[in-house]
Amino acid sequence: MDIIFNNITGLINGFSVVLQPTQLVFIFVGCFLGTLVGVLPGIGPVGAISILMPITFQMSPTGAIVMLAGVYYGVMYGGSTASILVNVPGEAASVVTCLDGYQMARQGRAGPALGIAAIGSFLAGTTGLIGLQLIAAPLANVALEFGPPEYFAIILVGFTFIIYLTRGSLLKAGMMACIGLILSQIGLDPITSEQRMTFGILNLFEGIGVAPLAMGLFGVAEVFTNLETLHKGEHIKVKIRTLIPSRWDWMRARWAMLRGSLVGFFLGILPGGGPVISTFIAYGLEKRIARNPERLGKGAIEGVAAPEAANNAAASTSFIPLMTLGIPPNVVLAVLFGAFLIHGVTPGPLMLKENPDMFWGIICSMYVGNVMLLVLNLPLIPMWVQVLKIPGRILYPLILLFCVIGAYGINNSVFDVYVMIFFGAAGYLFRKFGYEGAPLILAFVLGPLFEVNLRRSLLMSGGSFAIFFTRPIALGAIIIAAALLLLSVYQMHRKRYANKTRLF
């Protein structure tokens, strides 16, 4: 009963915060910009949040976070539009939607595809929010009992998960995680305040900023890669007669939406999971349980409904580990974690007690944002179609300009611009050599927490690593991490034997 009462009180509190006109404007701007970024192939949520982060410095912390959160789930909505209409995914979580969405558009059924994507996104996003609202507060209370060993072990699970779920080489993902950890060490030591790897450069005393790093790795590198080809995309002449799916479409899509929501719900919570992975799993599940699996990939509405529901549910529930444990489960939330810190708020178990307005405000802003996205985006689809026609040669220079302003605006320092350009070039080369940026940025953000909790645990135990094996939660997390690592190695070996021409 207490949970329900606390939830209702929290929701009333949260809605009283977000229903103020300024907050509604921030939510709207976030959702609008998110959808725009989602529609435009290339930048994605990480780049968008990184670029917009400096703009939020003048805002209230709650306003800033609800806007950036709006960008995140707005991208999930918008990503499907480009996938369905031009077969170019607006962002990684919409790759799967291309398979059936574009086929539906070719068959003259772009309207129902866009409609089911929007409705599925809304329903799944709301389902995820209900979960977030019910789980977050009790979990935050449990997390108050956690000590450094538990935190260390949970972060370790996050690292192994991201390596386990990596799409490319396991070795390279591990290497990127190590590089991220090393980069996070630059600056003053968190315990002794000694300088580490600063090489006497004053700007490095506080370490490398997460925003220029993320903007470089994801924003600038993406633009550099796209500039190589100046990809125009395949523009089809879309005639959208109706956005409302037929009864037959509903019958086929409803269970797919439910399954997609459930997949997204659970994968969103897991460290290392998130919207991208959930879409692939949701689509795979549809293919596995379909009576005629050959229909999928040829314009089946389930192939649109399931992944779109999954990525939105995952986007909502991925806030659970961030707001209750202070652990960002995926790369987007890692950047958002940086935004929280910049605004003087530390996400974690104490957030509910110290910043209840913000805690509940974020949850309620997502309810409002989901409604806004559904109401606004369906009528705006013709406008997004026009946006898709902006040529890359105009768009990419503008994105670079916004990245430069964003990096400069963090500290009004050109040094951050240099850092961004450096990591932009590095990110471009990483892509060329088959390295993924996600493990690096996640390790970079989690690095300081990982280090502090490891060192504190060893201080507590007098130097004995047994402390991680004698506390049940830490032990459980370490067993999961070890199992994931073994599973990754097993899969790598299986792949190696299956395809002897390519070792890793």
Strands 187-188 and 195-196: antiparallel
Beta bridge partners of 188: 195
Rule CB under 8 A: is residue 93 a binding residue for another protein?
no
| Residues of span 310-369 touching another protein by CB under 8 A | none
Q: Which is nearer to another protein, 6 or 195 (CB)?
A: 195
Closest CA to 120 of 103, 136, 97: 97
Tokens of 119: 């409705």
Interface of this chain with another protein, residues 39 to 58, rule: CB under 8 A? 54-55, 57-58
- Closest to another protein by CB, 351 vs 407, is 407
Nearer to another protein, 248 or 465 (CB): 465
490 binds another protein per the rule CB under 8 A: no
Among 25, 142, 230, 489, binds another protein (CB under 8 A): 230
User: Any idea of the CA torsion for 490, 491, 492, 494, to the nearest 10 degrees?
Assistant: 90
SS3 annotation, 304-366: HHHHHHHHHHHHHHCHHHHHHHCCCCCHHHHHHHHHHHHCCCCCCCCHHHHCHHHHHHHHHHH
Verify binding: residue 398, another protein, rule CB under 8 A: yes
N-term to C-term CA, the chain: 53
Residue from 450, 471, 477, 488 touching another protein (CB under 8 A): that is 450
Among the candidate windows 37-45, 76-84, 185-193, 311-319, which touches another protein by CB under 8 A?
185-193
Q: Which of residues 194-213 bind another protein (CB under 8 A)?
A: 194, 196-197
Angstrom distance (rounded) from CA 143 to CA 348: 8
Residue of 200, 288, 433, 472 that binds another protein (CB under 8 A): 433
CA distance linking residue 88 with residue 10, whole number of Å: 41
CB of 173 vs another protein, minimal distance in Å: 9
Pick the closest to residue 209 from 187, 228, 224 (CA basis): 187
CA angle 167, 168, 170 (to 5 degrees): 105
Cβ proximity to another protein, 490 vs 504, nearer residue: 504
With respect to another protein, which residue has the nearer C-beta, 161 or 435?
A: 435
Binds another protein (CB under 8 A): choice among 1, 5, 192, 247: 192
Q: Which of 91, 105, 82, 14 has its CA nearest to residue 369?
A: 14
Q: Which residues in this chain contact another protein in the complex, by CB under 8 A? A: 54-55, 57-58, 171-172, 174-175, 178-179, 181-182, 185, 189, 191-192, 194, 196-197, 220, 223-225, 227-230, 392-394, 396-398, 400-402, 404-405, 408-409, 412, 414, 417-418, 421, 424-425, 428, 432-435, 447, 450-451, 454-455, 458-459, 461-465, 501-504
